[in-house]
Chain A
Amino acid sequence: MSEVKRWTPDEIAARIARDIPDGSYVNLGIGQPEKVANHIPEGREIIFHTENGILGFGPTPAEENIDYDLINAGKKPVSLLKGGSFFHHADSFAMIRGGHIDLCVLGAYQVAANGDVANWSTGAADDVPGVGGAMDLAAGAKRIVVMMTHTTKQGGHKLVDAITYPATARGVVQRVYTDIAVLDVTGDGFRVVEMADGLSMEELQARTGAPVTG
């Protein structure tokens, strides 16, 4: 696959950002999805929610302005934009569970052809389990998309017929953005929206554990 031009995490984040409509309320999962905030097209106003209790947070502050009472769900320092607000956890998750969040970008271990997603536990016996807000976001946001590498580091499938890791939620993922493709979840497979340069349908199918259609 040497001729395939893989997208970098920042390029994937920028691709996701281009799809977010003006005025959306958006929650970004911990890790790579946090990069989406850095790529919002100019002139578009997106209000970011973080489940620990902030709407309207902004970029990482300068060192001298870091305040550990002002952090995101990844416990990283953020700033507050004009218009931003604070609220307690029950209100924060009412926003999520109550369907007030327009879009959530999650990271994931696996996404199935029917929209099932696994992102909180590998099920390994020695793993300390931690779920955080992932199940609430996956169950409650109006639109769930996933940002992840297309395969594991060993080349194993992450887009699959059926998830094998413990579920985060069932039938919720609508679109997946990977380092080689953008795919919509159809219920019985994945439909290509966009592919990296140099990638053929045959190669994409080989790297995907469920039927892919053009």
Chain B
Amino acid sequence: MAGIEDGARIMLSGFGEAGHPTDLVHALLDQGARDLTIIANNAGNGYVGLAALINAGRVKRMVCSFPKSSQSVVFNDFYARGAIELELVPQGTLAERIRAAGAGVPAFFTPTSAGTPLAEGKEVRDYNGRPHVLEEALHADVALVKAEAADRWGNLTYRKAARNFGPIMCMAADCSIVQVRRHVELGELDPESVITPGIFVDRTVLVAEPADEQSLIASGYRREPA
């Protein structure tokens, strides 16, 4: 977590728990950076991972598509008290804004959200007879990502639907830090199976047995800063 400063914009991969880098988020919690903007699909569950980071008062602003869940007690409380800002973004727009940042596209027009409250204040243009909303690329200082295996060049494979935001977040951050279950030798990964080429990856961290959020939540565990 070296070099992550107060006020940093940080992407967290995952859809729910699948692909969420819980162990790296706990390391960030211990590292101490504050006033963070967190870009993630969800806003954490129980008192672990992202929820623990929010509960420690370290997150100023959430950019996400679906903050609420049956276990999002911390976010719900902070939001109700006005203690956290929320930028709500449709899930596909969130993904495309992240992809665009990684691909060097500063903005794009999308039909998603046209005619809805989430398009208010944004430029709208008609293409093919339909209104489209201008959306800007979403860039981050750091991406914390969970993947399956990495080699020394940073080539990554993922596991099943845990892939979700990982590949595009690795592209969209100045520094991408990836926790993996396995480190492998160069040449061990089938080049046809590499999902994220190493050019998009800055650091990898071996976490052979990643935290299982559901088990931690079920046990009543509350992660506090070290």
Which residues of chain A from 113 to 133 have a CB within 8 Å of any chain B CB?
116, 121, 126, 128-133
Contact with B along A48-86 (1 / 0, CB 8 A): 001111100000000000011111000100001000001
Whose C-beta in chain A lies nearest to the C-beta of B94? A89
Which residues of chain B from 67 to 111 have a CB within 8 Å of any chain A CB?
67-69, 72, 75-76, 79-80, 86, 88-96, 98-99, 110-111
Whose C-beta in chain B lies nearest to the C-beta of A75? B16
A133 and B90 within 8 A (CB): yes
B31 within 8 A of A: no
A88 and B165 within 8 A (CB): yes
B16 and A71 within 8 A (CB): yes
A136 and B98 within 8 A (CB): no
Bound-state CA distance A57–B173 (Å) is 31
Contact with B along A142-185 (1 / 0, CB 8 A): 00000000000000000000000011111000000000000000
Chain A residues closer than 8 Å to B69, beta-carbon distance: 75
A191 within 8 A of B: no
Which residues of chain B from 106 to 157 have a CB within 8 Å of any chain A CB?
110-118
Chain A residues closer than 8 Å to B79, beta-carbon distance: 128
Whose C-beta in chain A lies nearest to the C-beta of B80? A126
A168 and B116 within 8 A (CB): yes
Of A13-21, A32-40, A90-98, A195-203, the one contacting chain B is A90-98
A135 within 8 A of B: yes
Chain A residues closer than 8 Å to B89, beta-carbon distance: 131
Which listed residue, B72, B98, B114, B161, touches A53 by the CB 8 Å rule? B161
Which listed residue, A53, A126, A139, touches B111 by the CB 8 Å rule? A139
State how many residues of chain A have any CB contact under 8 Å with chain B. 40
Chain A residues closer than 8 Å to B116, beta-carbon distance: 135, 166-170
B74 shortest CB reach to chain A, Å? 12
Query: Given A69-B161, A169-B115, A131–B65 Cβ distance below 8 Å?
Result: yes
A interface: dominant SS: loop
A143 shortest CB reach to chain B, Å? 15
Bound-state CA distance A90–B171 (Å) is 12
Chain A residues closer than 8 Å to B111, beta-carbon distance: 97, 139-140
B115 and A136 within 8 A (CB): no
Tell me which of B112, B159, B195 has the highest count of chain A C-beta atoms within 10 A of its own C-beta. Answer: B112
Whose C-beta in chain A lies nearest to the C-beta of B69? A75
A97 and B110 within 8 A (CB): yes
B201 shortest CB reach to chain A, Å? 15
Which listed residue, A68, A130, A169, touches B17 by the CB 8 Å rule? A68
A136 and B166 within 8 A (CB): no
A69 and B159 within 8 A (CB): yes
Bound-state CA distance A134–B69 (Å) is 16
Bound-state CA distance A54–B15 (Å) is 12
B15 and A53 within 8 A (CB): yes
A139 and B76 within 8 A (CB): no
Chain A residues closer than 8 Å to B110, beta-carbon distance: 97, 139
Bound-state CA distance A137–B117 (Å) is 16
Bound-state CA distance A76–B94 (Å) is 22
Whose C-beta in chain B lies nearest to the C-beta of A52? B15
Chain A residues closer than 8 Å to B162, beta-carbon distance: 69
Bound-state CA distance A104–B86 (Å) is 28
Tell me which of A88, A126, A132 has the highest count of chain B C-beta atoms within 10 A of its own C-beta. Answer: A88
Chain B residues closer than 8 Å to A134, beta-carbon distance: 90
Besides the known contacts A54-B160, A88-B95, 9 further A-B residue pairs in the complex with CB atoms under 8 A apart: A69-B161, A88-B167, A88-B195, A131-B66, A131-B88, A139-B110, A140-B112, A170-B114, A170-B115
Question: Interface residues, chain A, CB within 8 Å of chain B?
Answer: 50-54, 67-71, 75, 80, 86-90, 92-93, 96-97, 116, 121, 126, 128-136, 139-140, 166-170
The 16 listed contacts between A and B (C-beta, < 8 Å) are: A69-B19, A71-B16, A71-B18, A92-B92, A92-B95, A93-B91, A93-B96, A97-B110, A128-B67, A128-B75, A128-B80, A129-B67, A129-B86, A130-B66, A132-B66, A135-B112
